[in-house]
Structure 1
Amino acid sequence: MVLRDKMGSVLLTLDDHYIDSTYRVAAHIHHKLELSCVVEGTGRYQIDDRVYNLQRGDIIILNNCESHALLMEENETLHHLVIHFDPSFIWNSLSNDIDYNFLLIFFERGPNFSNKLDRENPATARIFSLILDIQQELQSRKLCYELIVKIKLQTIFTEIIRNYDYIEHGKVVKPLSGNEIEYLNAVISYINSNLDKDLRLSELADIVHVSPSYFSTLFKRFNGVSPIEYIVHKRVQRAIELIKTTSMNLTEIAMACGFNNGTNFYKAFKKVTGRTPSFYRRSAENTSSVK
């Protein structure tokens, strides 16, 4: 299930995964923020150097810099819902009275932070229910469902900020000004339209007439990753779409997504997804043959 902006760019996805002990994906990093819940079953989540045991009702939070992988043992099965979203889905339309503090749980964590929410905290059950509500909204797509999804996501973050000792106390970040939102939107739009080109930091800063250092700091502050990291992840996302929807070979796809050689394409793809481009191509072909 996908939520897109007016230009067609993906803002939020919700995936309904059923996996078993045959599941194998290497540790990887997304350019989007992640929120997931376990609907049924058991497993383990390895996040950097930490491992969390999973069972029904558990909630996992990941930012876009954390390497992670699901680990399954023999005879284990796991059903979980995974939400990925761009930080801009939250900050893009916010005014100064509702600000970036919604995203503190991802970018300004305190010493007591845990990627797995405390299951003994009553707020965890409420958050679990809110994720199921988001799934229902994306499935039914009723009038104003996009707004309801955003409201429920913001409610989840409010629950976390109020009820868990996970963020850095006293840390309040100045919200984006109107000009800064305009800057970031202009650059993100340019990136999405020019992924096949050689994009440089100085060029992106010139678009909004600011210095490269100021632009880089601003971009990372509100997106969690540097502009260059963001571009690489966007290129991989575009490559996945082309693999699934076209008959282009992998070399053509690499060039169309701005990778100057196959080696760089393979390394970036494996780092972001945990799998190879060839794996995605085989999966797409198998899906097509079933149809």
Structure 2
Amino acid sequence: MDFLEELNRIVDQYDESILVMRQQTEQRLPAHQHKKGQLLLVLGGIAYLQTSEKDYYIPSNHYIWIPQNFPHNLMYNAQDLHIINVYFPEAHGEEFYNNLGIYPVSRLLSEMLSFSEKWQGNFFPGDWEFEFLKTLWGLLPKENLQRFSIQLPTTDDERLNEITADLRKRISEPLTLQDIAEKFGLSVRSLTRLFQNKLHISFIQYIKMLRIIRAMELIKNTNLTVTELAYEVGYSNISAFSNTFFQLTNMRPTEFKAML
């Protein structure tokens, strides 16, 4: 039995249990799914969750809710990253539980997770730990928190993947639609339609997301000032950088750095 099969067996072994796993077990596994809903909490860095349609970026002190039977795989490379997984059995709840989403960890949720920080393994109906975790599960939709909105769409179009790979390498440079179109032998109209038809996002919005993702990584791994960060990811206007960062993350760069 390979590791992926063993993981799925452990997670779905008991239909009625709530399972807590603190090991970073899902890193770099192929796409897989569980019969249970999954609360994945990220501390100390940035994790990347991949699906067939989008790449999701989960910053520190955020969690992602993964619905039942939702194919996904997790990637990260920070050595100090800490992951907590809590798997919940099937239950008929609010629409919240049917949709994948990334949310900040509230003070209340943080306190509850801190209280249960040493828990590990399966907890069953009748266990007081089970009732505590079930209360935590029920709290999630009640907080009405704003979703974290950086979600990069993916495609199997080889030509577009070549273009986006080039954009990642040149993120600190001025990047215009016309320059990129000329570099890859396309008209501006063709490149615009390629992004819209294959990624369902504009070229400009894709660049914004790439730049803010890179800024998040730099905040985590360097001591650059906000001004230095802005220039490093291709912004000459500090205010525009800060406003875009806020638009996509619901916090300013200084707030994000303080949270880390």
TM-score, structure 1 as length reference: 0.44
TM-score, structure 2 as length reference: 0.49
